[in-house]
Amino acid sequence: MQNLRYEHHGSLALITINRPDKLNALNRQTLLEIEEAVATAMADAAVHAVILTGSGDKAFAAGADVAEFAHYTATEARDLSAVGHRIMDSIATAPKPVLAAINGFALGGGLELAMACHLRIAAPTARLGQPEVNLGLIPGYGGTQRLVEWVGRARALEMLMSGDPIDAATALQWGLVNRISATAESLLEDSTALLNRILQRGPIAVSHCIRLTALAAQGDPDGYLQEIETFGSLFQQPESREGIGAFLEKRKAAFRGSASGS
Ligand code: COA
Protein backbone atom coordinates (compact mmCIF):
# COMPACT_ATOMS: atom_id res chain seq x y z
CA MET A 1 0.00 0.00 0.00
CA GLN A 2 1.38 3.40 -1.04
CA ASN A 3 -0.75 5.73 1.07
CA LEU A 4 -1.99 3.56 3.95
CA ARG A 5 -0.55 1.75 6.92
CA TYR A 6 -2.34 -1.48 7.86
CA GLU A 7 -1.53 -2.93 11.28
CA HIS A 8 -2.94 -5.58 13.57
CA HIS A 9 -3.53 -4.57 17.19
CA GLY A 10 -4.83 -7.77 18.76
CA SER A 11 -8.16 -8.44 17.06
CA LEU A 12 -8.36 -4.87 15.70
CA ALA A 13 -7.07 -3.73 12.32
CA LEU A 14 -5.72 -0.18 12.42
CA ILE A 15 -5.86 1.51 9.01
CA THR A 16 -3.96 4.81 8.91
CA ILE A 17 -4.22 7.17 5.96
CA ASN A 18 -0.62 8.15 5.40
CA ARG A 19 -0.19 11.32 3.33
CA PRO A 20 0.49 13.73 6.19
CA ASP A 21 2.22 16.30 3.94
CA LYS A 22 -1.09 16.61 2.03
CA LEU A 23 -3.19 16.44 5.21
CA ASN A 24 -4.14 12.89 4.19
CA ALA A 25 -6.14 14.16 1.19
CA LEU A 26 -7.96 11.27 -0.46
CA ASN A 27 -6.69 10.90 -3.99
CA ARG A 28 -8.10 8.07 -6.08
CA GLN A 29 -5.22 5.73 -5.20
CA THR A 30 -5.79 6.28 -1.47
CA LEU A 31 -9.52 5.65 -1.82
CA LEU A 32 -8.88 2.37 -3.64
CA GLU A 33 -6.36 1.35 -0.99
CA ILE A 34 -8.94 2.04 1.73
CA GLU A 35 -11.41 -0.17 -0.15
CA GLU A 36 -8.83 -2.96 -0.35
CA ALA A 37 -7.76 -2.60 3.29
CA VAL A 38 -11.34 -2.72 4.58
CA ALA A 39 -12.08 -5.76 2.37
CA THR A 40 -8.95 -7.47 3.71
CA ALA A 41 -10.05 -6.78 7.30
CA MET A 42 -13.55 -8.10 6.63
CA ALA A 43 -12.18 -11.30 5.07
CA ASP A 44 -9.68 -11.94 7.89
CA ALA A 45 -11.24 -14.07 10.64
CA ALA A 46 -8.60 -12.81 13.09
CA VAL A 47 -9.82 -9.21 12.64
CA HIS A 48 -12.98 -8.41 14.60
CA ALA A 49 -13.20 -4.64 14.11
CA VAL A 50 -11.44 -1.80 12.32
CA ILE A 51 -10.18 1.64 13.34
CA LEU A 52 -9.64 4.16 10.55
CA THR A 53 -7.49 7.18 11.34
CA GLY A 54 -5.08 9.68 9.79
CA SER A 55 -1.34 10.00 10.27
CA GLY A 56 0.11 13.07 11.96
CA ASP A 57 -1.66 15.25 14.48
CA LYS A 58 -3.29 17.64 12.02
CA ALA A 59 -5.72 15.74 9.85
CA PHE A 60 -7.90 12.65 9.63
CA ALA A 61 -8.35 13.59 5.96
CA ALA A 62 -8.72 17.11 4.52
CA GLY A 63 -10.96 15.98 1.69
CA ALA A 64 -10.71 14.68 -1.83
CA ASP A 65 -7.46 15.64 -3.52
CA VAL A 66 -8.33 18.97 -5.14
CA ALA A 67 -5.13 19.04 -7.21
CA GLU A 68 -5.97 15.65 -8.70
CA PHE A 69 -9.48 16.51 -9.88
CA ALA A 70 -8.75 20.14 -10.84
CA HIS A 71 -8.95 19.44 -14.58
CA TYR A 72 -11.49 16.63 -14.60
CA THR A 73 -14.25 16.54 -17.21
CA ALA A 74 -17.84 16.04 -16.05
CA THR A 75 -17.58 12.36 -16.99
CA GLU A 76 -14.37 11.86 -15.02
CA ALA A 77 -15.85 13.67 -12.00
CA ARG A 78 -19.01 11.56 -12.15
CA ASP A 79 -16.86 8.42 -12.30
CA LEU A 80 -14.80 9.52 -9.29
CA SER A 81 -17.99 10.21 -7.35
CA ALA A 82 -19.37 6.77 -8.24
CA VAL A 83 -16.14 5.11 -7.10
CA GLY A 84 -16.28 7.10 -3.85
CA HIS A 85 -19.89 6.05 -3.28
CA ARG A 86 -19.01 2.39 -3.87
CA ILE A 87 -16.21 2.57 -1.30
CA MET A 88 -18.23 4.49 1.32
CA ASP A 89 -21.12 2.04 0.91
CA SER A 90 -18.74 -0.90 1.38
CA ILE A 91 -17.72 0.57 4.73
CA ALA A 92 -21.24 1.55 5.81
CA THR A 93 -22.49 -1.99 5.16
CA ALA A 94 -19.37 -3.81 6.39
CA PRO A 95 -20.30 -6.70 8.72
CA LYS A 96 -17.71 -5.86 11.41
CA PRO A 97 -17.65 -2.56 13.34
CA VAL A 98 -15.62 0.21 11.70
CA LEU A 99 -14.73 3.23 13.84
CA ALA A 100 -13.32 6.54 12.60
CA ALA A 101 -10.78 7.98 15.04
CA ILE A 102 -10.84 11.62 13.94
CA ASN A 103 -7.47 13.05 14.90
CA GLY A 104 -7.79 16.49 13.27
CA PHE A 105 -9.43 17.93 10.16
CA ALA A 106 -12.18 15.75 8.70
CA LEU A 107 -13.22 17.85 5.74
CA GLY A 108 -15.08 17.07 2.53
CA GLY A 109 -14.34 13.48 1.53
CA GLY A 110 -12.62 13.03 4.90
CA LEU A 111 -15.85 13.73 6.75
CA GLU A 112 -17.75 11.59 4.24
CA LEU A 113 -15.36 8.73 5.02
CA ALA A 114 -15.84 9.23 8.75
CA MET A 115 -19.62 9.36 8.29
CA ALA A 116 -19.59 6.06 6.40
CA CYS A 117 -18.06 4.43 9.49
CA HIS A 118 -20.35 2.96 12.15
CA LEU A 119 -18.82 4.95 15.01
CA ARG A 120 -16.85 8.19 15.29
CA ILE A 121 -14.61 9.37 18.12
CA ALA A 122 -13.03 12.80 17.75
CA ALA A 123 -9.93 14.26 19.35
CA PRO A 124 -10.82 17.48 21.23
CA THR A 125 -8.91 19.37 18.50
CA ALA A 126 -10.83 17.87 15.56
CA ARG A 127 -12.70 20.04 13.08
CA LEU A 128 -15.38 18.62 10.82
CA GLY A 129 -16.94 20.18 7.75
CA GLN A 130 -18.14 19.95 4.17
CA PRO A 131 -16.38 22.92 2.54
CA GLU A 132 -17.12 21.96 -1.09
CA VAL A 133 -19.31 25.03 -1.75
CA ASN A 134 -16.13 27.09 -1.37
CA LEU A 135 -15.01 25.36 -4.58
CA GLY A 136 -18.40 25.69 -6.27
CA LEU A 137 -18.97 21.98 -5.65
CA ILE A 138 -21.06 19.69 -3.47
CA PRO A 139 -19.93 16.60 -1.56
CA GLY A 140 -19.52 13.66 -3.92
CA TYR A 141 -19.05 10.66 -1.62
CA GLY A 142 -22.46 10.58 0.04
CA GLY A 143 -22.13 13.69 2.22
CA THR A 144 -25.46 15.27 1.27
CA GLN A 145 -27.19 12.08 2.39
CA ARG A 146 -25.18 10.89 5.41
CA LEU A 147 -24.91 14.32 7.00
CA VAL A 148 -28.72 14.49 7.09
CA GLU A 149 -28.71 10.99 8.62
CA TRP A 150 -26.37 11.94 11.47
CA VAL A 151 -27.26 15.57 12.28
CA GLY A 152 -30.70 16.18 10.72
CA ARG A 153 -31.50 18.38 7.72
CA ALA A 154 -31.38 21.78 9.43
CA ARG A 155 -27.83 21.33 10.72
CA ALA A 156 -26.77 19.49 7.57
CA LEU A 157 -27.95 22.40 5.43
CA GLU A 158 -26.12 24.89 7.62
CA MET A 159 -22.88 22.91 7.30
CA LEU A 160 -23.33 22.20 3.59
CA MET A 161 -24.38 25.72 2.55
CA SER A 162 -21.93 27.67 4.74
CA GLY A 163 -19.03 25.27 4.21
CA ASP A 164 -17.88 26.24 7.71
CA PRO A 165 -16.34 23.49 9.86
CA ILE A 166 -17.59 22.74 13.37
CA ASP A 167 -15.43 21.87 16.37
CA ALA A 168 -15.47 18.56 18.23
CA ALA A 169 -17.75 19.83 21.02
CA THR A 170 -20.37 20.98 18.49
CA ALA A 171 -20.02 17.72 16.57
CA LEU A 172 -20.74 15.82 19.78
CA GLN A 173 -23.69 18.02 20.63
CA TRP A 174 -25.11 17.57 17.11
CA GLY A 175 -24.60 13.79 17.12
CA LEU A 176 -22.00 13.81 14.37
CA VAL A 177 -19.52 12.03 16.64
CA ASN A 178 -20.27 9.50 19.35
CA ARG A 179 -17.62 10.71 21.76
CA ILE A 180 -14.67 13.04 22.23
CA SER A 181 -11.51 11.40 23.50
CA ALA A 182 -10.16 12.61 26.84
CA THR A 183 -7.08 14.03 25.08
CA ALA A 184 -5.71 14.05 21.53
CA GLU A 185 -3.12 11.50 22.70
CA SER A 186 -5.72 9.11 24.11
CA LEU A 187 -7.79 8.97 20.88
CA LEU A 188 -6.69 5.49 19.81
CA GLU A 189 -6.82 4.13 23.36
CA ASP A 190 -10.38 5.46 23.85
CA SER A 191 -11.39 4.11 20.43
CA THR A 192 -9.96 0.70 21.25
CA ALA A 193 -11.76 0.66 24.61
CA LEU A 194 -15.16 1.28 22.98
CA LEU A 195 -14.56 -1.36 20.32
CA ASN A 196 -13.36 -3.88 22.90
CA ARG A 197 -16.65 -3.51 24.78
CA ILE A 198 -18.56 -4.14 21.55
CA LEU A 199 -16.36 -7.14 20.74
CA GLN A 200 -17.47 -8.81 23.96
CA ARG A 201 -21.07 -8.87 22.65
CA GLY A 202 -22.58 -11.39 20.24
CA PRO A 203 -20.75 -10.74 16.93
CA ILE A 204 -23.58 -11.95 14.70
CA ALA A 205 -26.06 -9.78 16.61
CA VAL A 206 -23.71 -6.78 16.33
CA SER A 207 -23.41 -7.37 12.60
CA HIS A 208 -27.21 -7.39 12.24
CA CYS A 209 -27.40 -4.12 14.21
CA ILE A 210 -25.22 -2.52 11.52
CA ARG A 211 -27.29 -4.01 8.68
CA LEU A 212 -30.69 -3.16 10.09
CA THR A 213 -29.87 0.43 11.10
CA ALA A 214 -28.54 0.96 7.56
CA LEU A 215 -31.99 -0.04 6.27
CA ALA A 216 -33.57 2.56 8.56
CA ALA A 217 -31.11 5.22 7.35
CA GLN A 218 -32.02 4.41 3.73
CA GLY A 219 -35.72 4.73 4.55
CA ASP A 220 -36.18 1.12 3.50
CA PRO A 221 -39.80 0.18 4.29
CA ASP A 222 -38.66 -3.42 4.73
CA GLY A 223 -36.65 -2.59 7.85
CA TYR A 224 -39.31 -3.52 10.42
CA LEU A 225 -40.08 -6.82 8.67
CA GLN A 226 -36.37 -7.59 8.41
CA GLU A 227 -36.06 -7.02 12.16
CA ILE A 228 -38.79 -9.58 12.86
CA GLU A 229 -37.15 -12.14 10.55
CA THR A 230 -33.68 -11.51 11.98
CA PHE A 231 -34.87 -11.66 15.58
CA GLY A 232 -36.37 -15.06 14.83
CA SER A 233 -33.35 -16.37 12.95
CA LEU A 234 -31.00 -15.49 15.81
CA PHE A 235 -32.73 -18.09 17.97
CA GLN A 236 -31.22 -20.75 15.69
CA GLN A 237 -27.70 -19.47 16.40
CA PRO A 238 -25.37 -20.97 19.03
CA GLU A 239 -24.54 -17.33 19.81
CA SER A 240 -27.96 -16.64 21.34
CA ARG A 241 -27.92 -19.94 23.23
CA GLU A 242 -24.61 -18.89 24.77
CA GLY A 243 -25.84 -15.36 25.55
CA ILE A 244 -29.15 -16.40 27.09
CA GLY A 245 -27.57 -19.37 28.88
CA ALA A 246 -24.85 -17.17 30.37
CA PHE A 247 -27.44 -14.71 31.67
CA LEU A 248 -29.48 -17.47 33.32
CA GLU A 249 -26.36 -19.07 34.78
CA LYS A 250 -25.16 -15.66 36.06
CA ARG A 251 -21.85 -15.82 34.20
CA LYS A 252 -20.25 -13.79 31.43
CA ALA A 253 -21.03 -14.95 27.91
CA ALA A 254 -18.10 -16.35 25.95
CA PHE A 255 -19.18 -15.53 22.41
CA ARG A 256 -15.74 -15.95 20.92
CA GLY A 257 -14.59 -18.90 22.98
CA SER A 258 -13.57 -17.14 26.21
CA ALA A 259 -15.30 -14.64 28.46
CA SER A 260 -13.52 -11.43 29.42
CA GLY A 261 -14.36 -7.91 30.50
CA SER A 262 -17.87 -6.60 31.28
N1 COA B 1 -6.48 18.34 -1.59
C2 COA B 1 -5.19 18.46 -1.98
N3 COA B 1 -4.24 18.95 -1.20
C4 COA B 1 -4.59 19.35 0.02
C5 COA B 1 -5.91 19.27 0.51
C6 COA B 1 -6.87 18.74 -0.38
N7 COA B 1 -8.15 18.59 -0.02
N8 COA B 1 -5.96 19.76 1.75
C9 COA B 1 -4.70 20.12 2.06
N10 COA B 1 -3.88 19.87 1.03
C11 COA B 1 -2.44 20.14 0.95
C12 COA B 1 -2.12 21.60 0.71
O13 COA B 1 -2.25 21.91 -0.67
C14 COA B 1 -0.71 21.69 1.22
O15 COA B 1 0.15 21.11 0.27
P16 COA B 1 1.51 21.89 -0.17
O17 COA B 1 2.29 22.00 1.10
O18 COA B 1 2.14 20.99 -1.19
O19 COA B 1 1.07 23.22 -0.71
C20 COA B 1 -0.74 20.74 2.40
O21 COA B 1 -1.83 19.86 2.18
C22 COA B 1 -0.93 21.42 3.73
O23 COA B 1 -2.12 22.19 3.66
P24 COA B 1 -2.21 23.75 4.05
O25 COA B 1 -3.38 24.33 3.35
O26 COA B 1 -0.88 24.39 3.84
O27 COA B 1 -2.47 23.64 5.62
P28 COA B 1 -3.21 24.71 6.53
O29 COA B 1 -2.99 24.26 7.93
O30 COA B 1 -2.79 26.08 6.16
O31 COA B 1 -4.77 24.58 6.18
C32 COA B 1 -6.84 23.39 5.74
C33 COA B 1 -5.50 23.42 6.51
C34 COA B 1 -7.47 22.04 5.99
C35 COA B 1 -7.75 24.50 6.26
C36 COA B 1 -6.58 23.60 4.24
O37 COA B 1 -5.56 22.71 3.83
C38 COA B 1 -7.77 23.38 3.36
O39 COA B 1 -8.67 24.21 3.31
N40 COA B 1 -7.79 22.22 2.61
C41 COA B 1 -8.82 21.95 1.65
C42 COA B 1 -10.09 21.48 2.33
C43 COA B 1 -11.17 21.21 1.31
O44 COA B 1 -11.63 22.09 0.61
N45 COA B 1 -11.59 19.94 1.24
C46 COA B 1 -12.63 19.52 0.38
C47 COA B 1 -12.12 19.16 -0.95
S48 COA B 1 -13.45 18.68 -2.01
pLDDT in tens, 231-240: 999 999 999 9
pLDDT tens column, 121-142 = 999 999 999 999 999 999 999 9
Which phi and psi (to 5°) does residue 107 adopt? -120, 150
Residue 260 scores a pLDDT above 90: no
**Mean pLDDT calculated for residue range 46-67:** 97
Closest to 113 in 3D by CA, of 25, 22, 216: 25
Catalytic one of 33, 36, 76, 112: 112
From the CA of 137, give the closest atom in ligand 1.
48
pLDDT tens column, 243-256 = 999 999 999 999 98
From the CA of 107, give the closest atom in ligand 1.
45
From the CA of 140, give the closest atom in ligand 1.
48
Using a 6 Å CB cutoff, which residues line ligand 1? 22-23, 25, 62-67, 105, 107-108, 131-132, 135
pLDDT band at 51 (very low <50, low <70, confident <90, very high): very high
Measured in Å, residue 24 CA sits from the centre of ligand 1 at 9
Measured in Å, residue 56 CA sits from the centre of ligand 1 at 14
- Taking CA atoms only, the protein residue closest to ligand 1 atom 34 is 62
Q: How many residues does the chain have?
A: 262
Measured in Å, residue 20 CA sits from the centre of ligand 1 at 10
Laid out side by side, the sheet with 49-54 consists of: 4-9, 12-17, 49-54, 98-102, 119-122, 179-180
Amino acid at 151: V
pLDDT at position 125 is: 97
Provide the H-helix boundaries in the chain.
28-43, 66-69, 74-92, 109-116, 143-151, 153-162, 168-174, 187-199, 203-217, 223-234, 238-248
Q: Of all residues in the chain, what percent carry a pLDDT higher than 70?
A: 98
68 part of the active site: no
Give the range among 53-57, 182-186, 258-262 with minimum mean pLDDT: 258-262
- Taking CA atoms only, the protein residue closest to ligand 1 atom 16 is 22
pLDDT tens column, 11-25 = 999 999 999 999 999
Measured in Å, residue 195 CA sits from the centre of ligand 1 at 31
Laid out side by side, the sheet with 127-129 consists of: 59-61, 105-107, 127-129, 166-167
189 part of the active site: no
pLDDT tens column, 197-217 = 999 999 999 999 999 999 999
From the CA of 66, give the closest atom in ligand 1.
1
